[in-house]
Amino acid sequence: MGKTAAIIGGGVIGGGWAARFALMGWQVRIFDPDPDAERKVGEVMNNARRSLPGLSNAAMPQEGALIFCETISEAVRGADWIQESVPERLELKAKTYRTVQEHCDPGAVIGSSTSGFKPSQLQQGAARPEQIVVAHPFNPVYLLPLVELVAAPGNDPRVSDRAATILTEIGMYPLRVRKEIDAHIADRFLEAVWREALWLVNDGVASTEEIDDAIRYGFGLRWAQMGLFETYRIAGGEAGMKHFIEQFGPCLSWPWTKLMDVPELTEELVDTIAGQSDAQSGAHTIRELERIRDNNLVAMMRALKSQNWGAGALLNATDQALLTAGGAVLDYSEIADIGAPIVTLDRAVPLDWVDYNDHMNEARYLQAFSEATDRFMEIVGCDADYIATGGSYFTAETHIRHLDEIHPGKRIRVTTICLGGQGKKMHVFNQLWEGNTLCATGEQILIHVSLQTRRPCDPSPLIARRLGTIEAAHHGLPRPDGVGRFVGAPR
Amino acid sequence: MGKTAAIIGGGVIGGGWAARFALMGWQVRIFDPDPDAERKVGEVMNNARRSLPGLSNAAMPQEGALIFCETISEAVRGADWIQESVPERLELKAKTYRTVQEHCDPGAVIGSSTSGFKPSQLQQGAARPEQIVVAHPFNPVYLLPLVELVAAPGNDPRVSDRAATILTEIGMYPLRVRKEIDAHIADRFLEAVWREALWLVNDGVASTEEIDDAIRYGFGLRWAQMGLFETYRIAGGEAGMKHFIEQFGPCLSWPWTKLMDVPELTEELVDTIAGQSDAQSGAHTIRELERIRDNNLVAMMRALKSQNWGAGALLNATDQALLTAGGAVLDYSEIADIGAPIVTLDRAVPLDWVDYNDHMNEARYLQAFSEATDRFMEIVGCDADYIATGGSYFTAETHIRHLDEIHPGKRIRVTTICLGGQGKKMHVFNQLWEGNTLCATGEQILIHVSLQTRRPCDPSPLIARRLGTIEAAHHGLPRPDGVGRFVGAPR
């Protein structure tokens, strides 16, 4: 794009802005008198470089240059966007704008990261008040899309429009706030919850961890995808938003928080809310919204499972209890018949494995085989403890026959046959079943490696011995259809 | 397990409890005088059956029987758990407990779904007050793990312990609330935000949709995985929680909400919070917490991308803009050299594609090839519009050579060669590159099908013509290494 952003104040927020602009291809000039600023911004940049580019399904532009400037004038000259993230003191911000406006392009956007001040407050005494808007982001700025874009009556609307266009270009969501108020929108909620949380800790009702758990195992997951009103619309059921407010409105005057001032639920206010909710979510029935919500929750909670964090860590712990009760083999000692294929996966197809053809996506077949092979590795002794000592198996080659479709919710099993287990090589043949229907086969060769050198090496004697035993026992099995097949070979 | 739950009140919440118990293998008996109860519970069951089993990585137990009872006595007799979810009227609950306790086992847990009442209120006038606890869940009960488990001084601690054990067994998270208070913990936050949101709508500051966007594009994503205090701990940086409170505490007395009563931030309270935060999160440095947070955010936001919802829908829109600027071919008309391999994927490896070996997981190689083949399908005319008319390609066979590791954040490209495109068959050979290094090859055969019959059929004339043209042009390319190879073939 060849555009330039000036970042005034390079803390966590300023650094986050710098990272987002730079990774979206902008040249970025930073002014911060802190002698440590370059190191601090560098750390934010490192976090951003490892997380943002892959978030996208497309290649990002060439990263823009990051230039640290000695003066504000040097930073802002010719810049298209100037982002002020200095501490929350009005007189400091006013002083900053004076210097900025002496040197910047009158057509540039000056955005303030303030979480509390109104734009009209920021504009007081400025040379060109119409140029200054609030552009309030959320940490981490390089990942979270929300920016509250707030203008005052004194603003040139073209500045806000230009700001919204640029924010969209750099992958953010400009929420144009209709009226300037202290703390804009989101921080009013954050403040209300923060106060309530302080009371709960103060009164010994809950610890910080218990409060976090009360959020992240429950309504936090709802809010991450639908927010407040759409969630409550579903709770109202087919009777809708009006019914929900009529049912739950009265609770508001119960003494349930320390925070007591409540708007009167006039018929007019109820109608306003119900009408806005219809405009927002009316394209979907409640039943559809429920399924959308559940799809989102399953996808997000499974994402957290893969990170073994929060609700995902909890689900993984529950899985452990289910696994011991299920049909899959978990440990070498549990193999009942060493001469039979080993059940290495036994699960239902989750909603997030389904694609536009409304069946399990082809890549999830390999995920199922991969998880089955992981289990087989664990059974022969290549478990998390072993991997921590520096040995593991890497897959070298895979052949999959997709024999039948599988639909979400269906229970699937994988059975594993060991075709070879000598030396560094492990050769397995996986079969994916739904009931008695063979839906796919997956033949794989894995190589044992050192995680230090990333080169092939022999596995531990225990693994070698167990693999050898299973290989010998599985030699007695009939050779399954599909072994050694190449793509397109005649049936 | 062979256990029995009695569900008294079968609305959205009671139905959710019924679904969770039944899917975890419990026999479930439901009492609800509503003549529509069976239909309503059936709808919740359908939602639960499609979403909960696949959430787990293990097979769930055999689903328990669901029995609708004519009387409370029939429902509760011999039950291990009795869950009361009747409307929020204290006298109705008291009446319900009288009947329940006349017929139930004195050792059973009686849990109330109340979101507002304290257990000591529920216990008033009960025959055995020690048996009644609050077990407050969150909608949808079959997916969200949180249950606020609240006891009163009059409770037998063995009842709470037993309740906690059972809730854990059915995959929930019993948050044991230390002191009974009105509305427990989570709903105090929900009430505080709800009041603030009503004010914002009332005052014309924001619409319901704008409020939802302010939550789900920003702090909602933070709260879903870390909650409030751990998020703020990170915001405090290396200086920690104490620093954060000292910096942001004063804002609390600013007029930023309608809700004004604030606890005094005594040194004691600050120390309590800082100490609890250390106990909760002190095992990780701030830098580690930042990376955990970013991993979680990327995984969750990518999960929402796959659902094309909320922050994920926004990211998909941004991708569209990036794609046109990137290196991949998007449309047949964009193919510059019909005789050259077509660039069908150009992206960075996201954090959620990485496994315990700290490299791109093998299944993600097939995901990359699958996305590349999807793009190739679009290019020849099998796009979303075409699929909506009832035709698509299903993959029949895949062969992958994993030639090199790929690490997160690295930019990868896939080039596609068409080896065959006659009739129903599409034969492609994908090559996955990092820079000039060939990291994997993926050979695939796909078959054109009717999405109605799910049987093979011919593609449209446009697709047939384009495929034929590309196949003929690609015939001039040297045959790539690896075509027609079987697993384990000598190099």
Task: Provide the shortest C-alpha distance from residue B236 to chain A (in Å).
Answer: 10
Sheet holding A411-420, edge to edge: A342-348, A411-420, A425-434, A437-450, A391-402, B391-402, B437-450, B425-434, B411-420, B342-348
Q: Which helix (H) or strand (E) holds A83?
A: strand A81-84
Token pair of A100 as six digits: 């900025």
Interface test with A, best of B56, B382, B418 (most A CBs within 10 A): B56
In this predicted structure, what is the pLDDT of residue A286?
Answer: 87
Q: Which of A1, A52, A187, A259 is best to mutate for the B interface (most B CBs within 10 A)?
A: A259
Mean pLDDT of chain A: 92
Identity of the residue in B218, B300, B444 whose CB atom sits nearest the CB atom of A487:
B444
Q: pLDDT band for position A450 (50/70/90)? A: very high
Helix axis angle, A267-281 to A240-248, nearest 10°: 140
pLDDT in tens, A52-65: 999 999 999 999 99
Is B235 close to A139, i.e. CB distance below 8 A?
yes
Q: In Å, how far is A105's CA from the nearest CA of chain B? A: 27
Residues 6+ apart with CB under 8 A from A94: A122, A124, A125, A126
| pLDDT score at A322 | 87
A201-205, B369-373, B429-433: which range is least confident on average? A201-205
Q: Quick one: pLDDT band at residue B243, thresholds 50, 70, 90?
A: confident
DSSP B250: G
Chain B: closest CA distance from residue A136 (Å): 11
Q: Is B227 in Cβ contact with A215 (below 8 Å)?
A: yes
CA B476 to chain centre: 47
Predicted pLDDT of residue B260: 52
Cβ atoms of B113 and B17 within 8 Å: the answer is yes
B227, A216: Cβ pair inside 8 Å?
yes
Q: Please, what's the b/e burial string for A68-104 (b: 16 or more CB within 10 A of its CB; e: otherwise)? A: bbeebeebbbebbbbbbbbebeeeebeebbebbbebb
Predicted confidence band of residue A262 (pLDDT cuts 50, 70, 90):
low
Partners of residue B205 in chain A, C-beta under 8 Å? 177-179, 181, 185
Q: How confident is the model at residue B255 (pLDDT cuts 50, 70, 90)?
A: very low
More confident residue, B432 or A190: B432
Tokens representing A285? 């029935």
Closest CA to A397 of A296, A490, A289, A486: A486
Instruction: Work out the pLDDT band at B252, boundaries 50, 70, 90.
Output: low
Q: Is the pLDDT of residue B238 over 80?
A: no
Q: Measuring CA to CA, how many Å separate A350 from each of A364, A407, A480?
A: 10, 9, 28
Which residue in chain B is spatially nearest to A450 when comparing CA positions? B357
Return the pLDDT at A248.
66
Considering just the CA atoms, what is the radius of gyration of chain A in Å?
29
- Can you give the pTM of this predicted structure? 0.92
Provide the CB-side half-sphere exposure for A471 (13 A, CA).
16
Q: Chain A: residue nearest B347 by CA?
A: A59
Q: Report the b/e string of A168-207 with b at 16+ CB within 10 A.
A: bebbbbbbebeebbbbbbbbbbbbbbbbbbbbbbbeebbb
| Residue closest to B149 by CA, chosen among B5, A166, B157, A59 | B157
| Structure confidence at residue A463 (pLDDT) | 97
Residue A250: predicted pLDDT = 53
CB-based burial label for A63 (10 Å; 0-12, 13-18, 19+): middle
Contact A402 B394 (CB under 8 A): yes
Per residue in A401-419, pLDDT tens?
999 999 999 999 999 999 9
| Contacts with A320 (C-beta within 8 Å, 6 or more apart), sequence order | none
Instruction: List residues bridging with A68 in a β-sheet.
Output: A30
Q: What is the pLDDT of residue B434?
A: 97
Q: What is the mean pLDDT of residues B366-373?
A: 96
pLDDT in tens, B3-38: 999 999 998 999 999 999 999 999 999 999 999 999
pLDDT at A404: 96
Residue A488 confidence (pLDDT)? 84
What is the 8-class DSSP label of residue A219?
A: I
Mean of pLDDT over chain B: 92
Q: Is 90 exceeded by the pLDDT of residue A191? A: no
Euclidean distance between CA atoms A427 and A371, whole angstroms = 15
Nearest to B377 by CA among B453, B463, B311, B438: B463
Query: Residue B374 — φ and ψ, nearest 5°?
Result: -55, -45
Residue in the structure block whose two tokens are 């794009």: A1
Q: In this predicted complex, what is the ipTM?
A: 0.92
Q: String of b and e for B157-188 (b: at least 16 CB within 10 Å)?
A: eebbebbbebbbebbbbbbebeebbbbbbbbb
Q: How high is the pLDDT of residue B123? A: 97
In eight-state DSSP terms, residue B115 is S
pLDDT of A323 higher than 90: no
For the residues of B313-355, what is the DSSP string, one character each? HHHHHHHHHHHHHSSS--SGGG-S-TTS-EEEEEEEPPGGGB-
Which residue, A364, A367, A382, is CA-closest to A466? A382
Pairing of strands B425-434, A4-8: unpaired
- Cβ separation B190–A398 shorter than 8 A: no
Q: Looking at A18-22, A238-242, A288-292, A326-330, which range is the least confident one?
A: A238-242
- pLDDT at res. A255: 44
**What is the share, in percent, of chain B residues with pLDDT greater than 70?**
96
The 3 state secondary structure assigned to B354-386 is ECCCCCECHHHHHHHHHHHHHHHHHHHCCCHHH
Q: Average pLDDT of A154-179? A: 95
Confidence of residue B250 (pLDDT cuts 50, 70, 90): low
Task: Give the model confidence (pLDDT) of A77-114 as tens digits.
Answer: 999 999 999 998 999 999 999 999 999 999 999 999 99
In angstroms, the CA A365 to CA B370 distance is: 11
| From A32-36, A321-325, A430-434, B141-145, the region with the lowest mean pLDDT | A321-325
The widest CA-to-CA distance across chain A, in whole angstroms, is 89
> DSSP code of A436?
T
Question: Which chain B residues are within 8 Å of A428, Cβ to Cβ?
Answer: none
- Residue B307: pLDDT above 90? yes
Write the DSSP symbol of residue B216: I
